[in-house]
């Protein structure tokens, strides 16, 4: 069986046969071949947030934020297994044809487990939302799915947890921005998901962020890399810089003066691999006495240990036999449909949904995201080759007896779509089809050209953060004109983050958040609209009102941010989402041995649809403590029940889940009373207003002896 120790020894032997110049060359993401040692060239840069990305055809799942809305770590692990299988198949095929270009390797720079702390952050849709527990669970599941092992112990592909650490915008400042979080926020919010990825997920790689933390660039941050990641958490894999981030050390942070100093310091501090080209200066740094040969070779050993774990130099790796025919096969396509079904969140429904085919003769489908592949794909995406837009899905599901009218209505952001026409070229068309149709489905939102990564070459308009939480002006005008007609209306939002559409909420019968829903997003949407399935997603982020005063974007203090520290009622809260069915919780029981809390609750589907419910467990400390959360997520479970079916579900809450974080970052178990909530939503005022249901609760006490007891 291959294991890290045996692979490390192989790496040491191979690196020992290299010249120091050859060893240094292997620390660049575009590693050249060393022909005399039978080492082929290798490009470390591959992407797979929600499918193999930027490498041609692949199964495209909903963007990460959409999968977070499913609150289902078991399903996400299956999705990651598919991504890993397709990644191996594409690697095998490319290698057979001598193609070792970018995006075709086995080292995947996913998942992004940063905390989506501010709704304006453009890259937030790459994450699993605003909660550390949800992010940690989903990140670990995704890593486990990617890093399957064969019978000999070889990894199918290697995952990479990014961006370490305390990184969530603003995009325009990231190359020189210094983050100074409180010790409490650092340990309570920003680090837990990475800790879980390393300790429980055994992630093979960690990518450092562009920004600095406490005055040191993340690529050379001694505290983050050495004291926390390696010494405290025991990380043994390799560390890679974000792309061209080492260059920022002298170019933007001004932490070093020259490329040679940046390269040397980054390697010495533990950043083994450079995405970029600054490490081309390592031999100059060696000659100047800024780094030792041993430090260069140690980094090379760590990166080659990963290559050996992937079976790159061994003929007995079973994954070498995975054929190309698995790529975007029917089984994987069907899983993408299920993923999109699970991710959609029904925010409002006055009874207009599900649509009854027998009562409809015509449907107007309007909006810039109605017939848009970009609204399905998000960023860091592949191409399935047969995507199903919202319009495509509705047309197919409606059948031949219902007339489907379509109008783009407006451009997604351009005021004037045609230089020869006045602004609002399609508005009258949209109004006309809405006025003559039985119901209108208005598809609005964003795409990855409007929210995404600063300067990302995959984004045509070098997109970044949002200026506010509103639709673009062109779409606001469209919404005003369509809602003014007073016709039955359903609003569908494709976006990767929170938007505020409250201005039109009262004039719409239903509002559905569909995210960037993947290759089959339109099919899943139509199934939900026509009641073939019931929506089950819950919001993984808070949907604020646009006029709510958010903290400054550059302020990383969590006060006033996310559901845990929010003082005002939001538009829609974290953990909220409607179903076509109804669920009842009863018989909450709690037992403890002093160290763990065992919860059981009866969950019954009392409605008329087979449906999935996400059961949520929250904890609230009733005493006074530091800057405490209002309450916080402790556990969750996705449960599928047939109509009328009842199940007893259990949760085990470890004692550590009751701990609070002091201002110095220390985790403390405070004595006193705690309330544990179980239900289908948060125990907050806004959720109660929307659901008219209070979660069940039980009181737990922690005594001076640090033992749990149930009152």
For 648-665, write each residue's pLDDT tens digit.
999 999 999 999 999 999
Mean pLDDT of 588-598: 97
- Confidence class for position 339, pLDDT limits 50, 70, 90: very high
Strands 205-208 and 160-164: parallel
pLDDT over 80 (residue 534): yes
Q: What is the pLDDT of residues 663-673, one digit of tens each?
A: 999 999 999 99
Question: At which residue do the structure tokens 């198949």 appear?
Answer: 89
Using alpha carbons, select from 205, 206, 229, 219 the residue that is nearest to residue 264.
219
Q: What pLDDT score does 625 carry?
A: 83
- Contact, 263 vs 285, CB < 8 A? yes
Instruction: Copy the structure tokens of residue 213.
Output: 């933390």
Cα–Cα distance, 416 to 424 (Å, whole number): 7
- Asked about 242 being catalytic, the answer comes back as yes
Find out whether 161 and 198 touch, Cβ atoms under 8 Å. yes
Helix (H) / strand (E) containing 266? helix 259-269
Residue 133 falls in which region: left (phi positive, over 0), alpha (psi -120 to 50) or beta: alpha
Does 238 or 1 have the greater pLDDT score?
Answer: 238
pLDDT on residue 454? 86
Mean pLDDT, all residues of the chain: 97
Q: What is the pLDDT of residue 461?
A: 54
Cα distances from 30 to residues 45, 159, 280, 373, in angstroms, run 8, 18, 11, 31
So what's the pLDDT on residue 366? Answer: 99
CB contact at 8 A, 633 and 134: yes
> What tens digit of pLDDT does each residue of 456-465 get?
655 555 568 9
Residue range 4-40+159-309 forms a domain whose CATH class is alpha beta
Tell me 541's DSSP state.
S
Q: What is the pLDDT of residue 697?
A: 98
Which CATH number is associated with domain 583-710? 2.60.40.10
Map tokens 């467990």 to a residue. 617
For residue 288, give both structure tokens: 């100047």
Do 583-710 and 330-541 have the same topology in CATH?
no
Q: Tell me what pLDDT residue 458 has.
A: 53
Beta bridge partners of 208: 164
Quick one: the chain helix, strand, coil %, rounded to 5?
35, 20, 45
Sign of the CA dihedral 426, 427, 431, 437?
A: positive
**Which structure tokens are listed for 522?**
């339109």
User: Which pLDDT value is given to residue 456?
Assistant: 64
Right CATH number for 330-541 from 3.40.50.200, 3.40.50.720, 3.40.50.1700, 1.20.120.1750? 3.40.50.1700
Percent of the chain with pLDDT over 70: 99
pLDDT digits (tens, 9 = 90+) for 254-309: 999 999 999 999 999 999 999 999 999 999 999 999 999 999 999 999 999 999 99
* Residue listed under structure tokens 């096969």: 329
Give the residue among 140, 262, 127, 117 at the shortest CA–CA distance from 199.
Answer: 140
Q: What is the pLDDT of residue 204?
A: 98
Q: Is the pLDDT of residue 207 over 90?
A: yes
Q: What is the mean pLDDT of residues 583-611?
A: 98
- Largest pairwise CA distance in the chain: 80
- Catalytic option among 131, 242, 447, 500: 242
Q: Give the tens place of pLDDT for each residue, 118-130.
A: 999 999 999 999 9
- pLDDT bucket at 592, cuts 50 / 70 / 90: very high
Helix/strand/coil (H, E, C) string of 120-172? Answer: CCHHHHHCCCCCHHHHHHHHHHHHHHHCCECCCCCECCECEEEEECCCCCCHH
How confident is the model at residue 694, as a pLDDT? 96
pLDDT attached to residue 315: 86
- The lowest-confidence range among 156-170, 460-474, 497-511 is 460-474
pLDDT at 508: 98
3-state secondary structure of 238: strand
Q: Which residue is associated with the tokens 């050859």?
A: 22
pLDDT for position 11: 98
For residue 1, the model assigns a pLDDT of 61
| Degrees, nearest 5: CA angle 298-303-309 | 125
Whole-angstrom Cα Rg for the chain: 26
* Domain spans, the chain: 4-40+159-309, 330-541, 583-710
pTM higher than 0.85 for the full model? yes
């Amino acid at each position: 069986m291959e294991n890290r120790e045996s692979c490390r020894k192989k790496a040491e032997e191979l690196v020992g046969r290299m010249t120091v110049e050859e060893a240094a060359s292997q620390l660049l993401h575009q590693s050249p071949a060393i022909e005399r040692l039978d080492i082929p060239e290798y490009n470390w840069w591959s992407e797979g947030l929600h499918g193999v990305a930027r490498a041609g055809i692949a199964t495209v799942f909903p963007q990460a934020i959409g999968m977070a809305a499913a609150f289902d770590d078991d399903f996400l692990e299956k999705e990651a297994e598919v991504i890993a299988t397709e990644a191996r198949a594409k690697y095998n095929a490319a290698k057979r044809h001598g193609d070792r270009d970018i995006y075709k390797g086995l080292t995947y720079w996913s998942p992004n487990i940063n905390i989506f702390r501010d709704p304006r952050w453009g890259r937030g849709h790459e994450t699993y939302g605003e909660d550390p527990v949800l992010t940690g669970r989903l990140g670990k599941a995704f890593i486990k799915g990617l890093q399957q092992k064969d019978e000999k112990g070889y990894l199918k592909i290697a995952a990479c947890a990014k961006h370490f650490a305390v990184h969530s915008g603003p995009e325009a400042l990231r190359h020189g921005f210094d983050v100074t979080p409180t010790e409490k926020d650092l340990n309570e919010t920003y680090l837990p998901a990475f800790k879980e990825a390393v300790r429980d997920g055994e992630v093979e790689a960690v990518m450092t962020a562009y920004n600095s933390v406490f005055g040191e660039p993340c690529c050379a941050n001694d505290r983050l890399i050495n004291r926390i990641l390696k010494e405290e958490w025991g990380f043994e894999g390799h560390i890679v810089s974000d792309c061209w981030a080492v260059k920022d050390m002298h170019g933007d942070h001004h932490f070093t003066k020259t490329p040679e100093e940046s390269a040397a310091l980054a390697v010495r501090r533990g950043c083994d691999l450079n995405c970029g080209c600054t490490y081309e200066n390592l031999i100059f740094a060696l000659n100047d006495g800024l780094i030792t040969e041993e430090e260069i070779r140690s980094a090379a050993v760590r990166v080659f240990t990963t290559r050996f774990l992937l079976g790159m130099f061994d003929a007995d790796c079973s994954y070498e036999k995975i054929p190309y025919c698995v790529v975007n096969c029917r089984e994987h396509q069907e899983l993408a449909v299920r993923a999109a079904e699970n991710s959609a969140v029904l925010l409002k429904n006055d009874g207009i949904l599900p649509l009854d085919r027998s009562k409809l003769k015509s449907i107007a489908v309007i909006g810039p995201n109605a017939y848009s592949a970009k609204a399905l794909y998000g960023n860091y995406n592949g191409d399935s080759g047969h995507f199903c837009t919202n319009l495509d899905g509705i047309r197919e599901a409606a059948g031949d007896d219902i007339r489907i009218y379509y109008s783009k209505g407006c451009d997604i952001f351009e005021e004037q779509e045609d230089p020869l026409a006045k602004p609002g070229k399609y508005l009258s068309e949209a109004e006309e089809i809405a006025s003559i149709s039985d119901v209108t489905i208005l598809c609005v939102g964003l795409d990855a050209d409007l929210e995404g990564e600063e300067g990302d070459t995959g984004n045509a308009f070098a997109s970044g953060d949002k200026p506010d939480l509103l639709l673009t002006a062109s779409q606001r005008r469209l919404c005003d004109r369509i809602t003014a007609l007073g016709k039955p209306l359903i609003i569908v939002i494709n976006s990767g983050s929170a938007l505020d559409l409250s201005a039109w909420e009262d004039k719409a019968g239903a509002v559905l958040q569909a995210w960037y829903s993947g290759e089959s997003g339109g099919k899943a949407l139509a199934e939900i609209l026509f009641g073939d399935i019931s929506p089950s997603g819950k919001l993984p982020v808070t949907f604020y009102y646009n006029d709510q005063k958010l903290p400054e974007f550059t302020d990383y203090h969590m006060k006033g941010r996310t559901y845990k520290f929010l003082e005002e009622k939001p538009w829609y809260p974290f953990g909220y989402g409607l179903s076509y069915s109804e669920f009842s919780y009863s018989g909450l029981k709690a037992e403890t041995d002093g160290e763990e809390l065992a919860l059981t609750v009866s969950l019954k589907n009392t409605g008329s649809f087979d449906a999935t419910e996400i059961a949520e467990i929250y904890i609230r400390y009733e005493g006074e403590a530091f800057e405490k959360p209002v309450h916080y997520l402790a556990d969750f479970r996705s449960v599928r029940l047939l109509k009328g079916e009842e199940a007893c579900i259990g949760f085990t809450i470890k004692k550590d889940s009751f701990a609070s974080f002091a201002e110095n970052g220390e985790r403390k178990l405070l004595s006193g009373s705690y309330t544990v909530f179980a239900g289908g939503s948060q125990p907050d005022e806004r959720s109660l207003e929307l659901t008219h249901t209070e979660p069940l609760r039980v009181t737990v006490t922690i005594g001076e002896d640090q033992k749990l007891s149930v009152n």
